[in-house]
Amino acid sequence: MLILFSCLQNIAGQQKQDSTKISVSDSITNTYKEKLDRYVGLRLDTNTNVSKFSFINRAPLKNIDVVPNQDYQARIAINYKWLTLAFSFSPKIGGLNDNVQEKGKTKITSFDFSFNLKKTQHRLFFTKTKGYYLSNSEIYRAELLNQNIFSRYAKLPDFESIQLGSETFYFYNSDQFSKVFSRDKSEIQLKSAGSFVSFLGLYYSKIDGSEQDLSFLNLFTNKDIPYPNINESYYGAIGKGYAYNYIFEKNFFITALGIPSVGVQYSRLQYPFDAADTNKTELTVSILTEASIGFSDKKWFTGILGNYTGFTSTSKGNKLAGTKGYATLFIGYRFAPPKVVKNTFEYIDGQL
């Protein structure tokens, strides 16, 4: 409880003070970091961050793994001053993301943006994925054949998921530590520095099979307990951790972030036919980690970023553990902003 109270107090207590300092238009350089507000940053990522699900089967050691037909995503992000906008898409290169005949078609809509105050960083993101397939269909081959499903994978073209989230980070040592260096790259970390960080995350997710016939899933388990066709959850978490930017050979870097957190998740499960809906509340303990390595100067930057999240939830004495991890390869270039963009931001800075 002390951790929760301390994090809320630090984030909420500083927000009012920071709100009057949203302008970061002065290109300040000190011995630890340099702001690059006179440049627009354009960044291209390729990553493996796709939404995958595993239904827990009641048969021993058998899960039902439902994944989209996406091997990777590409993401384009543009940053200027305190704002970063980005969207993701799924290119078809070298046969990847293109096995539609066996796995079906997947459509992903994804965008995110972040903005930075003096000591805080705020991120908002939205992802919608439609079109999945049963990736471990081979272990259910007999059951699928009995349902006249003869393809290599069982396709779920109308199965979809939605993720919506908001994350706020408060950095205590923002005078020396660059909070945007690991991701947005609107600053350069000149000397190694670290900072304690408080975290607040709010999330909504929905797994929707209401337009998809999921009756065959019950062939793999107890037919009297159907799988929910809609699973909605609301999740809030708060925590404290530490971040560090290590600089070597002038322009090379290693960044690391680790934040343990605790939270509460409320879930609503809707079942097909006449089965009663279920609501449940869970206590969740999780850890968020990020690490990157790469190169950055005033014009070019490139590197690899890895993200890992592990969690444990408890509900009515039952525990569930899960993990999510992905890797990102990125390259970016900084250039002078168009006049209209520069004038627009200067006007906004002046009003704030």
Q: Has residue 33 been placed in a domain?
A: no
Alpha carbons 167 and 121: distance in angstroms, whole number: 8
Q: Has residue 121 been placed in a domain?
A: yes
Alpha carbons 236 and 266: distance in angstroms, whole number: 9
Residue type, 6: S
Q: What is the pLDDT of residue 241?
A: 97
Q: Which of 110-119, 235-244, 265-274 has the highest mean pLDDT?
A: 235-244
Report residue 163 as tokens: 């993720």
- Residue 26: how many other CB atoms lie within 10 Å: 9
Q: Has residue 122 been placed in a domain?
A: yes
Q: What is the pLDDT of residue 159?
A: 85
- Please tell me whether residue 319 adopts helix, strand or coil conformation: strand
Note whether 272 and 214 are within 8 A (CB): yes
List, for residues 169-189, the tens digit of each pLDDT value.
Answer: 999 999 999 999 988 888 999
CATH code of 215's domain: 2.40.128
Strand pairing class (33-35; 120-134): unpaired
Q: Has residue 21 been placed in a domain?
A: no
Residue type, 23: S
Q: Has residue 76 been placed in a domain?
A: yes
Q: Give the count of domains, the chain.
A: 1
Note whether 258 and 289 are within 8 A (CB): yes
- Residue 317: how many other CB atoms lie within 10 Å: 5
Alpha carbons 40 and 34: distance in angstroms, whole number: 15
- Residue 249: how many other CB atoms lie within 10 Å: 7
Phi-psi region of 292 (alpha: psi -120 to 50; beta: other; left: phi over 0): beta
H-helix or E-strand containing 8? helix 2-19
Residue ranges with strand state E in the chain: 33-35, 40-47, 53-56, 63-68, 73-80, 83-89, 107-116, 120-134, 155-171, 187-189, 193-208, 230-248, 252-270, 278-296, 300-315, 318-335
Note whether 187 and 33 are within 8 A (CB): yes
Q: Has residue 104 been placed in a domain?
A: yes
H-helix or E-strand containing 101? helix 100-103
Residue type, 295: F
DSSP letter (8 states) at residue 94: T
Domain hosting 307: range is 2-15+38-351
Residue type, 312: T
How confident is the prediction for the chain on average, in pLDDT? 80
Residue type, 125: F
Q: Has residue 25 been placed in a domain?
A: no
Q: Does residue 336 carry a pLDDT above 80?
A: yes
128 closest CA partner among 148, 111, 152, 103? 111
All residues at 6 or more sequence positions from 108 whose CB lies less than 8 Å from its CB, including other chains: 50, 68, 70, 73, 88, 89, 90, 127, 128, 129, 130
Q: Has residue 118 been placed in a domain?
A: yes
DSSP-assigned letters across all residues of 278-289:
EEEEEEEEEEEE
Note whether 160 and 108 are within 8 A (CB): no
List, for residues 4-42, the tens digit of each pLDDT value.
Answer: 434 444 544 544 444 333 333 334 557 899 989 899 999
How much is the average pLDDT of 296-322? 75
How much is the average pLDDT of 114-125? 92
List, for residues 201-251, the tens digit of each pLDDT value.
Answer: 999 988 887 776 666 665 555 555 555 667 788 999 999 999 999 999 989
